[in-house]
Structure 1
Amino acid sequence: MSEIHYSVPAISCGHCVNAISAEVGRVAGVAEVNVDVSAKRVTVRGNALDDAALRAAIDEAGYDIAS
């Protein structure tokens, strides 16, 4: 199982957690999504994770990933 981390500065509340978790959870291969409000970080665990698809899911939820 692999793990990918994203810095998402706009995470601030439970709505953010729910929106990101729902979108990212739909991506093929995702086993677990952890959205840390205080660290403003999204951690995704799973098999054969597609970085582009994960980034698109976070974008679809309405959030930008820090570069």
Structure 2
Amino acid sequence: MSDRTYTVKGMTCGHCKASVTEEISELSGVTGVDVDLQTGAVTVAGEGFTDDEIRKAVEEAGYQVV
């Protein structure tokens, strides 16, 4: 299992955090998601997921990986 951290632009509140967490959590292989609103850092734990899948999930939530 590994952790990967992404920077997500546009998150400002608890609803933002919940939306991003929900979308990423639905991906196969993801076992945990930690969102830091102050820095925009999203750390994803698990294995078998791709950066492209994470990017698409973040976009589904209405945000952008930078």
Question: Deviation at 1:49?
Answer: 2.1
How many residue pairs match? The answer is: 66
CA RMSD of aligned residues (A): 0.8
Q: How far, CA to CA, are the matches of 2:35 and 2:16 in structure 1?
A: 8
Measured against aligned partners, the alpha-carbon deviations of 1:40-67 in whole angstroms (never above 9, x if no partner) come to 111100022221111100010000111x
Name segments (4+ residues, structure 1) moved above 3 Å.
Answer: none
Contact 1:2 1:49 in 2 (8 A): no
Q: Is the 8 Å Cα contact of residues 35 and 41 (structure 1) preserved in structure 2?
A: yes
Distance across 1 between alignment mates of 2:33 and 2:11: 14
Taking only the aligned residue pairs, the percentage that are identical comes to 38
Name the one with the larger strand percent.
2
Name the counterpart of 1:31: 31
Deviation at 1:9? 2.3
Structure 1 segment 1-67 matched on structure 2, within 5 A: 1-66=1-66
Q: CA deviation at 1:16?
A: 0.6
Alpha-carbon distance in structure 1 between the residues aligned to 2:3 and 2:46: 7
Instruction: Provide TM-score, normalisation by structure 1.
Output: 0.92
Moved more, 19-28 or 7-16: 7-16
**3-state SS of the aligned residue for 2:32?**
strand
